[in-house]
Amino acid sequence: MTRIVYVNGEYLPEEEARISVFDRGFLFADGVYEVSSVLRGRLIDNPGHMARLHRSLTALDMAAPATDTELEAIQMSLIGRNQVDEGLVYLQVTRGAADRDFVYPEGVKPSLVMFTQSKPLLQSAQAERGISVVTTEDIRWRRRDIKSVGLLAASMAKMIARRAGADDAWMVESGKVTEGSSSNAYILTREGTLVTRSLGHEILAGITREAVLRLARTSSLQIEERPFSLAEAEEAAEAFITSATTFVMPVVSIDGKPVGDGRPGPVTRQLRELYITAALEQTGR
Ligand code: PDD
């Protein structure tokens, strides 16, 4: 079965989908995106993703290509057409196609592209055994709160991890962890406090982060939203990342040193369970 993708008003087999070479997403990375997970054929935490999409668009003076209701109808249509039970929907808005110029063009229609990827999210060998991360300098730009399609620095970080034989990278700025290459980063101190970086321009405001912190609060965990150092991370009892595609994923080693006893910790496992339960409740199935 060939995958059906959505491009500017049309549902097309992926090999027939076309975008202009003058699209500013292609020439300037002048675009933003969202990744929503799908469980049991239903979108998870989608209102949060829509809200963040608007924040990204507003930060770049970009018009929304459609209403939220229309965007969600397209997401759901793609899930249906591609029979996605578990996986994700990728949504990208770029400023549109115009003759190459650094100045934003006037009156150009934004481009809207969406596609699905089927993949198992609930059952994961990585979640069972945890992932290893290496730390690397955060060389990204200073507006990481905008979910921009300019992902080369994140891709480079991932490759540094890959070449070091690790699963992922944690990015570090001035001795403090910012976030994972495509996730938010957390530690649990030996005293049992959950620590994750405070929101600001330095990190992306993860939608999964918001949900997980809410669940952590309701289970009476002590939470500190503040930058944490690499030294603290190395001393931590537990560590994990969150994102729409990994949910809560244990981190069991940092730069080759085990976190805690080198196995997914109980608090991390509990938060993963809680998140998945809450996500499945949203599906009503
Ligand atoms: N990335 N930080 C960064 C840099 C990210 O790229 C992501 C998500 C997150 C987590 O955000 P959320 O919980 O809303 O997924 C944090 C997506 C999954 C991606 O680029 O594929």
140-176: per-residue pLDDT in tens?
999 999 999 999 999 999 999 999 999 999 999 999 9
Task: Report pTM.
Answer: 0.98
| Distance (Å, whole) CA 17 – CA 19 | 7
pLDDT tens-digit series, residues 192-204: 999 999 999 999 9
Q: According to the model, what pLDDT value does residue 223 have?
A: 98
Question: Residue 133: pLDDT band by 50, 70, 90 thresholds?
Answer: very high
Q: According to the model, what pLDDT value does residue 281 have?
A: 97
For the CA of 48, the closest atom of ligand 1 is 14
Class of domain 125-283: alpha beta
| Distance (Å, whole) CA 118 – CA 26 | 25
- Among the listed residues 214, 134, 223, the one whose alpha carbon sits nearest the alpha carbon of residue 187: 223
User: If you average pLDDT over every residue of the chain, what do you get?
Assistant: 98
Q: According to the model, what pLDDT value does residue 1 have?
A: 79
Question: Residue 285: pLDDT band by 50, 70, 90 thresholds?
Answer: confident
The Å distance, Cα 207 to ligand 1 centre, comes to 8
- Of 182, 198, 201, the one to substitute when testing ligand 1's pocket (max ligand atoms within 8 A of C-beta) is 182
pLDDT at 188 over 90: yes
The Å distance, Cα 205 to ligand 1 centre, comes to 8
The Å distance, Cα 201 to ligand 1 centre, comes to 14
Question: Residue 234: pLDDT band by 50, 70, 90 thresholds?
Answer: very high
Residues with a known catalytic role: 147
- Per-domain boundaries in the chain: 4-118, 125-283
Q: According to the model, what pLDDT value does residue 197 have?
A: 98
- Of all residues in the chain, the percent with pLDDT exceeding 90 is 99
Distances (CA, A) of 252 to 74, 103, 136, 234, 241: 38, 46, 17, 11, 11
- Of 136, 149, 204, the one to substitute when testing ligand 1's pocket (max ligand atoms within 8 A of C-beta) is 204
| Distance (Å, whole) CA 143 – CA 29 | 14
Strands 247-254 and 257-258: antiparallel
Domain 4-118 classified CATH 1.20.1260.10? no
The mean per-residue pLDDT over the stretch 242-253 comes to 98
State CA 201 to chain mean position distance: 16
pLDDT tens-digit series, residues 22-45: 999 999 999 999 999 999 999 999
For the CA of 181, the closest atom of ligand 1 is 4
- Of 198, 243, 271, 276, the one to substitute when testing ligand 1's pocket (max ligand atoms within 8 A of C-beta) is 243
Residues whose beta carbon lies within 6 Å of some atom of ligand 1: 35, 179, 182-184, 204, 206-209, 242-245
The Å distance, Cα 106 to ligand 1 centre, comes to 30
> Which residue has a Cα nearest atom 4 of ligand 1?
182
The Å distance, Cα 107 to ligand 1 centre, comes to 30
The mean per-residue pLDDT over the stretch 251-280 comes to 98
For the CA of 208, the closest atom of ligand 1 is 13
| Distance (Å, whole) CA 186 – CA 179 | 8
